[in-house]
Amino acid sequence: MADLKHEDYPRANAYDADWLLAADMGPNPLWLLEDLAHELDLRPGQRVLDLGSGKGATAAFLAKEYGVQVWAADLWVDPTAAAANIAAQGVDGVVTLKAEAHTLPFAHGFFDAIVCVDAYEYFGTADNYLAYLIGFLKPGGQLGVATPAMTREIRDLGHIPEHIKKLVGWEAIAWHTADWWRFQWEITELVDVTAARLQPNGWADWLRWSRAVSEYRGERDGALDMLEADNGQFLTFAILAARKR
Ligand SMILES: C[S@@+](CC[C@H](N)C(=O)[O-])C[C@H]1O[C@@H](n2cnc3c(N)ncnc32)[C@H](O)[C@@H]1O
């Protein structure tokens, strides 16, 4: 059985490794969320949107660990399957729904926080997206994002490194540096950026997860070649947090 115990993530350590690995859609969402949550002020009873929530691991974690009310919205995953996965953790009350990130079915100003783990890169890089999304936050509401990131901007490199292009193709242009995100958000003057940092262990954790997935499935995970070739040169995750003004 794959071991996901990690010295930096005591809360995530309490969750069943098989449950998490079966829900794999990318690097350990609970490690990412536990790190991201250090940058957020999550309090019991708050309304939190988990955007791009996938199979529901982060939604279960948010409800269980922080006592918040969670709406788990995702495009590709069937909400019934996500609800079953969340219920398997003994978590009740999470609303799962199918939603597209540009046409969200919520009232403006409804949420205390919006959290997005390994999904923002699919829809959040357009210049006008931040303004749209924070419309759903109360004033002072928090946005927290964990997203694949680069130590150098691809624009500055002038090309997508071959080992990344091989797996991700052009979509890697949505993987930015923490400084890129900070500027992108700060320039709007719509939010105060409270965190924009690269995870120092992001690549190592991603590799650790990819090896655990390989062991769990009995076959080599698709990301392993890319991560091994990278050797921590370019790839990591960015942890981003901001408050709506
Ligand atoms: C890599 S998966 C990560 C899922 C989950 N957050 C996790 O970490 O396990 C990316 C998720 O983003 C969601 N997604 C991609 N584009 C989306 C869009 N336009 N609107 C809503 N969700 C989207 C997909 O449905 C998918 O579940």
Which string of DSSP letters, residue by residue, matches 189-223? TSEEEEEEEE-TTHHHHHHHHHHHHHHHHTS--TT
Q: How confident is the model over 45-57, as a mean pLDDT?
A: 98
- The model's confidence at residue 2, banded by pLDDT at 50, 70 and 90, is confident
All domains in the chain, ordered by first residue: 12-244 (3.40.50.150)
Specify whether the CB–CB gap between 115 and 53 falls below 8 A. no
| C-alpha span between 33 and 9 (Å, rounded) | 10
- The model's confidence at residue 34, banded by pLDDT at 50, 70 and 90, is very high
Regarding the beta carbon of 121 and ligand 1, being less than 6 Å apart is answered no
Q: Could you give the angle at which helices 57-66 and 79-87 cross, rounded to 10 degrees?
A: 40
- Residue among 124, 113, 23, 101 at smallest CA distance from 62: 113
pLDDT digits (tens, 9 = 90+) for 100-138: 999 999 999 999 999 999 999 999 999 999 999 999 999
Mutate to test the pocket of ligand 1, among 117, 118, 221 (most ligand atoms within 8 A of CB): 118
Q: Does residue 150 sit in helix, strand or coil?
A: strand
Q: How far is ligand 1, taken at its centre, from the CA of residue 26, in Å?
A: 10
Regarding the beta carbon of 87 and ligand 1, being less than 6 Å apart is answered no
Q: How far is ligand 1, taken at its centre, from the CA of residue 85, in Å?
A: 16
Q: How far is ligand 1, taken at its centre, from the CA of residue 100, in Å?
A: 10
Q: How confident is the model over 192-209, as a mean pLDDT?
A: 98
Mutate to test the pocket of ligand 1, among 32, 74, 102 (most ligand atoms within 8 A of CB): 74
Query: Residue 3: pLDDT above 90?
Result: no
Q: How far is ligand 1, taken at its centre, from the CA of residue 202, in Å?
A: 19
Q: In the predicted model, what is the mean pLDDT of the chain?
A: 97
- The model's confidence at residue 94, banded by pLDDT at 50, 70 and 90, is very high
